[in-house]
Structure 1
Amino acid sequence: MNTTISNSALSVSIKHLGAELFSLKDNQNKEYIWEGNPDFWGKHSPVLFPIVGTLKNNTYTIDGKEYQLPRHGFARDMDFQLIDKTENSAIFALNSNTETLQKYPFEFELQLIYSVENTTLNIEYKVINKGLNKMPFSIGAHPAIALPEHFENYTLEFEKQEVLNYYLLENDLISNQTKVLESENNLIPLQYELFENDALIFKTLESNSLTLLQNSKPYVKVDFEDFPSLGIWTKMKAPFICIEPWVGYSDTAENSGDLFKKEGILLLEANQTFNSKFSISIL
């Protein structure tokens, strides 16, 4: 089942499975979200919850008890309920249940709130701890922007001048090895060689937004002020780029496995709510 919201500038379609954005079109019917061709990558813009990235051995512990979670968690593969809908907004909710409690022993409600305003799509995450104890979690976005022209025709422009220090992955875990992404005037020309070792992972950034340029002209902007970390990723030869705002990231090889002590994890008090928002603007 799908839901569509729109205004005079944008039309947005969301799957109830994973509350996943799969279409963002302008009023000329131009598509900006990756089509999900499984030959490259069969997703469009999954939500990452209750972890971002990969756990060491796909395993973690709570009070000494062992649990398993797949890469990026389970929310992206579960059916959400549409709990509110207007012409230009929609709210989806996933509540903890018997299935989730076996993998993640915390009672929660996860809401995804989509709204369109002019040429901007806002995506808000709301995490509610419905249990009696602190709840450890991470959350992240994974939108894939479709690139209709050659990959090398695109450039990333960081909002601020900064040292772009990123971490390398090793066996899907964050290694101690870092590299600096060399930029000129905050610009990074896209080339597939950047992603030969998987994603570029920035634990912290000064920039709160990235602008994707097509032939040196502004094309799409992603704002992520509420997210301290960022991943940038594509598949080799694939016609998309993922700009991924995160709260949290993969385990390191040295991780103890205790989810409460995981680097980058958030701890949400009982009966409290976490809110964060990012946006995708058509330029």
Structure 2
Amino acid sequence: MTTTISNSNLTAQIKHLGAELFSLKDKENKEYIWEGNPVFWGKHSPVLFPIVGTLKNNSYKYDENEYHLSRHGFAREMEFKLIEKSENSATFSLASTLETKKVYPFDFELQICYVLEENKLNIDYKVINKNEKMMPFSIGAHPALAMVENFDNYSLEFDQQEVLNYHLLEEGLISNTTNKLPLQNRQLVLNYQLFEKDALVFKALKSKSISILENTKPILKVNFSDFPNLGIWTMKDAPFLCIEPWFGYSDTLDEYDDFSKKEGIQLLEQNQTFESNYSIEIL
């Protein structure tokens, strides 16, 4: 099933499977979300929950028990319920089940709300801890933004002048090796060589928004002021770029003896609610 929302400027379509955004078009019918061709990558904009990235050996320990979770968690592969709908907004819900508790032993509700406002799509995350104990989790976005021109015709413009200090991945895990990318006038010219060793992972950035420039013209901006971490990723020769705001990231090469001590993990107090927001703005 799918749901469509629209306003006078934009139309967005969301799959109920994973509550995944798969289309965002302007009034000229220009598409801004990657089509999901499985030759490259068969997703569009999955939500990452209750982990972001990869666990060491795809497993973790909590309360002296071992659990197994595949990369980016299970929410992106589960059917969400549409719980609220208007012309320009839609809210989806995923609740814990007996099956989810086999791999993530917590009662939760995850709500994702999409709201179109002028030239912007706001995506709101709400994580509700329904346990009488603290709940560790990560959550992140993975929007793949379509690129119809040659990849090297694009650049990224950060809202702050900074030196990008990113971590390299080793078999999907965060290594202790870092590289630096200096910006020129806050801009980074894109090329596929940047992603030869997988995603660029930023544990911290001064910037809280990134614009995509096509032939030096800004076309789209991702705003992520709530989020402490970020990934940027594509595949060789793929006509898309993912700008991924995160709360958390893959396991590091360091050991931890309990999931709640994982680097980057969020700890939500009992019966409390976590909320965050990012947006995709058409320029």
Interval of TM-score (by shorter of Structure 1 and Structure 2):
over 0.9
Q: CA deviation at 1:261?
A: 0.4
Tell me how large the CA RMSD over aligned residues is.
0.6
Distance 1:255 1:173 in 2: 12
Q: CA deviation at 1:244?
A: 0.2
1:270 counterpart residue number: 270
Q: CA deviation at 1:257?
A: 4.8
1:216 counterpart residue number: 216
Q: CA deviation at 1:157?
A: 0.5
CA contact (8 A) 2:162 2:182 kept: no
Q: CA deviation at 1:255?
A: 2.6
Please give the per-residue CA displacement for 1:20-75, whole angstroms capped at 9, x wherever unaligned. 00000000111000000000000000000000000000000111100000000000
Matched, 1:259 2:259: yes
Distance 2:255 2:217 in 1: 42
Q: CA deviation at 1:79?
A: 0.2
Distance 1:172 1:257 in 2: 20
1:164 counterpart residue number: 164
Secondary structure of the corresponding residue to residue 122 of structure 2? strand
TM-score normalised to the size of structure 1? 0.99
| Runs of 5+ consecutive residues of structure 2 not aligned to the other structure | none
CA contact (8 A) 1:56 1:257 kept: no
CA contact (8 A) 1:227 1:247 kept: yes
* Equivalent runs, 1:134-149 vs 2, <5 Å: 134-149=134-149
2:226 counterpart residue number: 226
Distance 1:238 1:257 in 2: 38
Distance 1:43 1:250 in 2: 19
Distance 1:148 1:31 in 2: 10
2:122 counterpart residue number: 122
Distance 1:21 1:47 in 2: 9
| Runs of 5+ consecutive residues of structure 1 not aligned to the other structure | none
Amino acid at match of 1:191: N
2:93 counterpart residue number: 93
* Equivalent runs, 1:55-70 vs 2, <5 Å: 55-70=55-70
TM-score normalised to the size of structure 2? 0.99
Percent identical: 66
Secondary structure of the corresponding residue to residue 38 of structure 1? coil
Secondary structure of the corresponding residue to residue 213 of structure 1? strand
Amino acid at match of 1:82: L
Say how many residue pairs are matched.
Answer: 283
